[in-house]
């Protein structure tokens, strides 16, 4: 089964983009997904294929090497990939939202000129180092420091769970670090640290529950020296700028989660139609029909939620609360649909070679990454004036 996206008031070029990426996902990504998951390897030729399609440059202006699209376009691509392989989808989401976007929005002209062409073409990847062993949702607990020594920043500390930080084409990591102290707490700034800088170590890849093919590493910085001009944005605005990027990222994660929820629905419908139980197809039983109907409901509501938030963002209107609602709604939909699809598949759903089994493992992180669902509830409560 397939979902008719034409009912979501999308422009013709957006529908065509979704069609192209879904075809790429079905014909190129899906056949590789199980082996990539089993070997815990990010297939770089698939990444190159996404670059050839222009996916890494979708929401960026043409004058900086992008495709001149909008955030809806990016999210349609991420959703299409998330249907078949969340590891590939998060590779694109993190590369754009956490790697290139901070430089595009807050970087200097020299930083943009040096790095954006390759990032937007998919020839290079970048990462963003925010999370630490004791600092994630509570960024005020950041312990990584950066001090000016003449015309250089000296960075010391550690980061964890950093996506796209150790691929063969990773060029740099933008790191949040404490650059001073004030009456209101630590001054956080963002600093670009190129790969290969002495003292910058990328640790071994994590042994994760899911997203096995996604590149994720811990990072350490021991007296790392980079030029003073590697400051990204204004000093002391590192975390504030990242919050803006994080709000956008929550929309993209919602799109990824919607794709995962849809992939589970598609697989469950097809399996229920073909599976014979006690002499009749599983799909003929009302209990299965109701379960599948609820799965479709979740996909629809999740897509409406992220589309609304993305359209607000593209229109230049406030979208923080709507992004939180979309991320919360869609991540719950992905987890619930993965559970229900696994139940439809029975024993086969517990096998990693089936996509629903991988979605069941993968989807949990959607309720944690880019701000836990509890953080999303707090954002919504603040908007209501009760927190």
Element (H, E) at 188: strand 185-194
CB 294 within 8 A of CB 305: no
Per DSSP, the three-state class of 183 is coil
- Whether 370 sits among the annotated catalytic residues: the reply is yes
End-to-end CA distance of the chain: 43
DSSP string, 289-322: HHHHHHHHHHHHHHHHHHHHHHHHHHTT---HHH
Residue 174 — φ and ψ, nearest 5°? -90, 120
- The tokens for 322 are 């709507």
Choose among 349, 153, 333: nearest CA to 238.
153
Q: Which of 248, 262, 367, 370 is catalytic?
A: 370
- What does the alpha-carbon distance between residue 360 and residue 334 come to, in Å, rounded to a whole number? 8
**Helices in the chain by DSSP H: which ranges?**
12-24, 30-39, 44-52, 71-82, 86-94, 101-106, 109-121, 238-274, 286-314, 320-345, 355-362, 373-383
Choose among 154, 159, 17, 44: nearest CA to 98.
159
Active site residues: 370
């Amino acid at each position: 089964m397939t979902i008719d996206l034409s009912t979501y008031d999308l422009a013709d070029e957006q529908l065509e983009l979704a069609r192209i990426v879904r075809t790429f996902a079905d014909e190129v990504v899906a056949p590789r997904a199980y082996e990539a998951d089993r070997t815990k390897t990010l297939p770089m030729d698939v990444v190159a294929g996404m670059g050839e399609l222009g996916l890494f440059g979708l929401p960026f202006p043409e004058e900086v090497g992008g495709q001149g699209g909008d955030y809806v376009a990016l999210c349609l691509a991420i959703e299409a990939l998330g249907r078949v392989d969340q590891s590939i989808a998060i590779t694109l989401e993190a590369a754009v939202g956490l790697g290139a976007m901070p430089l595009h929005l807050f970087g200097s002209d020299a930083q943009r000129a040096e790095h954006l062409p390759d990032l937007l073409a998919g020839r290079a990847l970048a990462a963003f180092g925010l999370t630490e062993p004791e600092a994630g949702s509570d960024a005020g607990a950041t312990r990584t420091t950066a001090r000016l020594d003449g015309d250089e920043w000296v960075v010391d500390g550690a980061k964890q769970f950093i996506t796209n930080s150790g691929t063969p084409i990773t060029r740099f990591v933008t790191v949040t670090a404490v650059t001073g102290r004030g009456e209101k707490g630590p001054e956080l700034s963002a600093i670009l640290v190129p790969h290969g800088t002495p003292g910058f170590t990328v640790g071994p890849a994590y042994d994760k529950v899911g997203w096995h093919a996604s590149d994720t590493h811990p990072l350490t910085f021991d007296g790392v020296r980079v030029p003073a001009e590697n400051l990204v944005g204004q000093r002391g605005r590192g975390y504030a700028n990242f919050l803006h990027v994080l709000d956008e990222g929550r929309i993209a994660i919602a799109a990824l989660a919607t794709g995962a929820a849809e992939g589970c629905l598609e697989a469950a419908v097809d399996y229920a139609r073909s599976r014979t139980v006690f002499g009749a197809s599983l799909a003929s039983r009302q209990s299965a029909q109701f379960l599948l109907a609820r799965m479709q409901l979740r996909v629809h509501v999740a897509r409406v939620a992220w589309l609304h938030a993305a359209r607000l963002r593209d229109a230049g209107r406030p979208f923080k609360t709507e992004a939180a609602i979309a991320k919360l709604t869609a991540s719950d939909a992905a987890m619930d649909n993965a559970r229900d699809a696994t139940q439809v598949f029975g024993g086969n759903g517990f096998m990693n070679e089936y996509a629903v089994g991988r979605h069941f493992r993968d989807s949990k992180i959607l309720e944690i990454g880019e701000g836990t669902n509890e953080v999303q509830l707090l954002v919504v409560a603040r908007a209501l004036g009760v927190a």
